Amino acid sequence: MIAKLTGRVDSLDADRCVVDVNGVGYLVQASTRTLAALPVGALATLLVETQVREDAISLFGFSESSERDWFRLLTTVQGVGARVALNILSALSPRDLVQAIQSGDRGSLTRAAGVGAKLALRLLTELRDKAGTMPADSGVAPPAPPAAGAESDALSALINLGYRRQEAHAALGRVAERLGERAALDALIRESLKELAR
Protein backbone atom coordinates (compact mmCIF):
# COMPACT_ATOMS: atom_id res chain seq x y z
CA MET A 1 0.00 0.00 0.00
CA ILE A 2 1.20 3.50 -0.82
CA ALA A 3 0.94 5.82 2.21
CA LYS A 4 2.96 8.84 1.07
CA LEU A 5 4.44 10.26 -2.13
CA THR A 6 7.20 12.83 -2.48
CA GLY A 7 8.00 14.00 -5.96
CA ARG A 8 7.69 16.72 -8.57
CA VAL A 9 4.16 17.86 -9.40
CA ASP A 10 4.04 17.14 -13.12
CA SER A 11 0.51 18.38 -13.87
CA LEU A 12 -2.72 19.50 -12.22
CA ASP A 13 -6.32 18.99 -13.34
CA ALA A 14 -9.59 19.98 -11.69
CA ASP A 15 -9.71 16.89 -9.45
CA ARG A 16 -6.35 15.13 -9.85
CA CYS A 17 -2.63 15.59 -10.32
CA VAL A 18 0.33 13.61 -11.56
CA VAL A 19 3.28 13.31 -9.17
CA ASP A 20 6.57 12.26 -10.76
CA VAL A 21 8.56 10.13 -8.32
CA ASN A 22 11.92 9.17 -9.87
CA GLY A 23 10.46 8.99 -13.36
CA VAL A 24 7.22 7.19 -12.41
CA GLY A 25 4.08 9.32 -12.72
CA TYR A 26 1.44 8.58 -10.08
CA LEU A 27 -2.12 9.74 -10.82
CA VAL A 28 -3.51 11.05 -7.54
CA GLN A 29 -7.07 12.26 -6.99
CA ALA A 30 -7.44 15.06 -4.46
CA SER A 31 -9.72 17.79 -3.13
CA THR A 32 -9.52 21.27 -4.60
CA ARG A 33 -8.07 22.40 -1.24
CA THR A 34 -5.09 20.03 -1.59
CA LEU A 35 -4.63 20.74 -5.30
CA ALA A 36 -4.50 24.49 -4.64
CA ALA A 37 -1.52 23.93 -2.31
CA LEU A 38 0.51 22.05 -4.95
CA PRO A 39 3.05 24.02 -7.01
CA VAL A 40 3.39 22.68 -10.58
CA GLY A 41 6.98 21.75 -11.38
CA ALA A 42 8.11 21.81 -7.75
CA LEU A 43 8.69 19.13 -5.15
CA ALA A 44 5.69 18.23 -2.99
CA THR A 45 4.69 15.60 -0.45
CA LEU A 46 1.23 14.07 -0.35
CA LEU A 47 -0.24 11.75 2.25
CA VAL A 48 -1.95 8.98 0.32
CA GLU A 49 -4.91 6.69 0.86
CA THR A 50 -4.73 3.70 -1.48
CA GLN A 51 -7.90 1.87 -2.51
CA VAL A 52 -7.58 -1.46 -4.28
CA ARG A 53 -10.54 -2.87 -6.17
CA GLU A 54 -10.87 -5.73 -8.59
CA ASP A 55 -10.58 -3.42 -11.60
CA ALA A 56 -8.42 -0.55 -10.31
CA ILE A 57 -5.89 0.76 -7.83
CA SER A 58 -6.75 4.35 -6.91
CA LEU A 59 -4.63 6.88 -5.03
CA PHE A 60 -6.18 9.76 -3.08
CA GLY A 61 -3.82 12.50 -1.91
CA PHE A 62 -3.98 14.95 0.99
CA SER A 63 -1.77 17.85 2.03
CA GLU A 64 -2.77 17.45 5.70
CA SER A 65 -3.38 14.45 7.95
CA SER A 66 -6.65 15.99 9.22
CA GLU A 67 -8.07 15.92 5.69
CA ARG A 68 -6.98 12.29 5.20
CA ASP A 69 -8.57 11.28 8.53
CA TRP A 70 -11.84 12.91 7.50
CA PHE A 71 -11.71 11.17 4.11
CA ARG A 72 -11.41 7.82 5.89
CA LEU A 73 -14.33 8.60 8.20
CA LEU A 74 -16.58 9.99 5.46
CA THR A 75 -16.15 6.87 3.31
CA THR A 76 -17.50 4.71 6.17
CA VAL A 77 -20.93 6.31 5.67
CA GLN A 78 -23.25 4.41 3.32
CA GLY A 79 -23.60 6.30 0.04
CA VAL A 80 -20.32 8.19 0.41
CA GLY A 81 -17.69 6.90 -1.97
CA ALA A 82 -14.25 8.34 -2.53
CA ARG A 83 -15.46 10.87 -5.12
CA VAL A 84 -18.22 12.26 -2.87
CA ALA A 85 -15.83 12.37 0.10
CA LEU A 86 -13.41 14.49 -1.95
CA ASN A 87 -16.30 16.74 -3.02
CA ILE A 88 -17.21 17.26 0.64
CA LEU A 89 -13.58 18.03 1.52
CA SER A 90 -13.43 20.48 -1.40
CA ALA A 91 -16.50 22.32 -0.11
CA LEU A 92 -15.69 22.21 3.62
CA SER A 93 -12.42 22.29 5.54
CA PRO A 94 -12.00 19.83 8.45
CA ARG A 95 -12.82 22.69 10.84
CA ASP A 96 -16.00 23.54 8.88
CA LEU A 97 -16.99 19.86 8.85
CA VAL A 98 -16.70 19.59 12.64
CA GLN A 99 -18.84 22.72 13.08
CA ALA A 100 -21.44 21.67 10.48
CA ILE A 101 -21.90 18.20 11.98
CA GLN A 102 -21.96 19.34 15.61
CA SER A 103 -24.48 22.09 14.84
CA GLY A 104 -26.61 19.90 12.53
CA ASP A 105 -26.08 22.25 9.57
CA ARG A 106 -27.48 20.23 6.67
CA GLY A 107 -27.23 23.19 4.27
CA SER A 108 -23.44 23.35 4.52
CA LEU A 109 -23.13 19.67 3.62
CA THR A 110 -25.42 19.95 0.60
CA ARG A 111 -23.05 22.55 -0.92
CA ALA A 112 -20.83 19.61 -1.88
CA ALA A 113 -21.49 18.04 -5.28
CA GLY A 114 -23.27 14.70 -4.94
CA VAL A 115 -24.66 15.41 -1.45
CA GLY A 116 -28.43 15.72 -1.37
CA ALA A 117 -30.71 16.30 1.61
CA LYS A 118 -31.01 12.58 2.45
CA LEU A 119 -27.27 11.95 2.37
CA ALA A 120 -26.61 15.11 4.39
CA LEU A 121 -29.05 13.86 7.05
CA ARG A 122 -27.31 10.45 7.09
CA LEU A 123 -23.93 12.16 7.51
CA LEU A 124 -25.23 14.25 10.41
CA THR A 125 -26.80 11.22 12.08
CA GLU A 126 -23.89 8.80 11.68
CA LEU A 127 -21.06 11.24 12.37
CA ARG A 128 -22.48 13.38 15.16
CA ASP A 129 -20.83 11.32 17.93
CA LYS A 130 -17.55 10.97 16.03
CA ALA A 131 -17.07 14.58 14.86
CA GLY A 132 -15.90 15.82 18.26
CA THR A 133 -12.96 13.42 18.26
CA MET A 134 -11.84 14.29 14.72
CA PRO A 135 -9.06 16.78 13.98
CA ALA A 136 -10.34 20.20 12.99
CA ASP A 137 -7.09 21.38 11.40
CA SER A 138 -3.40 20.65 11.40
CA GLY A 139 -2.68 24.08 12.83
CA VAL A 140 -1.03 25.16 9.58
CA ALA A 141 -2.66 28.07 7.82
CA PRO A 142 -3.64 27.41 4.20
CA PRO A 143 -1.07 28.75 1.77
CA ALA A 144 -1.71 32.27 0.58
CA PRO A 145 -1.48 33.01 -3.12
CA PRO A 146 2.05 33.87 -4.18
CA ALA A 147 3.01 37.52 -4.23
CA ALA A 148 3.93 39.29 -7.42
CA GLY A 149 7.45 39.95 -8.67
CA ALA A 150 10.52 39.17 -6.58
CA GLU A 151 8.53 37.58 -3.74
CA SER A 152 6.88 35.14 -6.15
CA ASP A 153 10.25 34.22 -7.67
CA ALA A 154 11.78 33.80 -4.21
CA LEU A 155 8.92 31.54 -3.13
CA SER A 156 9.38 29.42 -6.24
CA ALA A 157 13.14 29.17 -5.59
CA LEU A 158 12.60 28.04 -1.98
CA ILE A 159 10.08 25.41 -3.04
CA ASN A 160 12.48 24.15 -5.71
CA LEU A 161 15.13 23.81 -3.00
CA GLY A 162 12.82 21.34 -1.25
CA TYR A 163 11.07 23.48 1.36
CA ARG A 164 7.36 22.95 1.92
CA ARG A 165 5.19 25.71 0.46
CA GLN A 166 3.65 26.69 3.82
CA GLU A 167 6.96 27.02 5.68
CA ALA A 168 8.65 28.80 2.75
CA HIS A 169 5.75 31.25 2.44
CA ALA A 170 5.77 32.00 6.18
CA ALA A 171 9.55 32.63 6.25
CA LEU A 172 9.40 34.74 3.10
CA GLY A 173 6.54 36.80 4.57
CA ARG A 174 8.61 37.65 7.65
CA VAL A 175 11.64 38.55 5.53
CA ALA A 176 9.63 40.67 3.07
CA GLU A 177 8.07 42.60 5.93
CA ARG A 178 11.52 43.26 7.41
CA LEU A 179 13.25 44.20 4.13
CA GLY A 180 10.38 46.15 2.57
CA GLU A 181 8.70 46.12 -0.85
CA ARG A 182 11.79 46.97 -2.88
CA ALA A 183 13.95 44.09 -1.62
CA ALA A 184 16.05 42.38 -4.28
CA LEU A 185 15.41 38.73 -5.19
CA ASP A 186 18.82 37.51 -3.95
CA ALA A 187 18.32 39.27 -0.59
CA LEU A 188 14.85 37.74 -0.18
CA ILE A 189 16.17 34.24 -0.89
CA ARG A 190 19.30 34.62 1.29
CA GLU A 191 17.38 36.00 4.29
CA SER A 192 14.57 33.44 3.89
CA LEU A 193 17.12 30.62 3.95
CA LYS A 194 18.48 32.03 7.21
CA GLU A 195 14.94 32.10 8.63
CA LEU A 196 14.29 28.52 7.55
CA ALA A 197 17.59 27.33 9.06
CA ARG A 198 16.56 28.48 12.55
Whole-structure pTM value: 0.67
Segment 136-194, tens digit of pLDDT? 654 444 444 344 467 778 888 887 788 777 778 888 888 888 887 778 888 888 888 98
Reduce the DSSP state of residue 144 to 3 states and report it: coil
CATH numeric code, 65-131 = 1.10.150.20
Tally of CB atoms within 10 A around 20:
16
CA dist 137 and 176 (Å) reads: 27
Homologous superfamily (CATH) of 4-62 is Nucleic acid-binding proteins (2.40.50.140)
The per-residue pLDDT for 149 is 65
**What is the DSSP pairing of strand 16-21 with strand 4-12?**
antiparallel
DSSP-derived secondary structure letter, 136: -
For the chain, percent of residues with pLDDT exceeding 90: 50
Q: Does domain 150-197 have CATH number 3.40.50?
A: no
What residue spans define the domains of the chain? 4-62, 65-131, 150-197
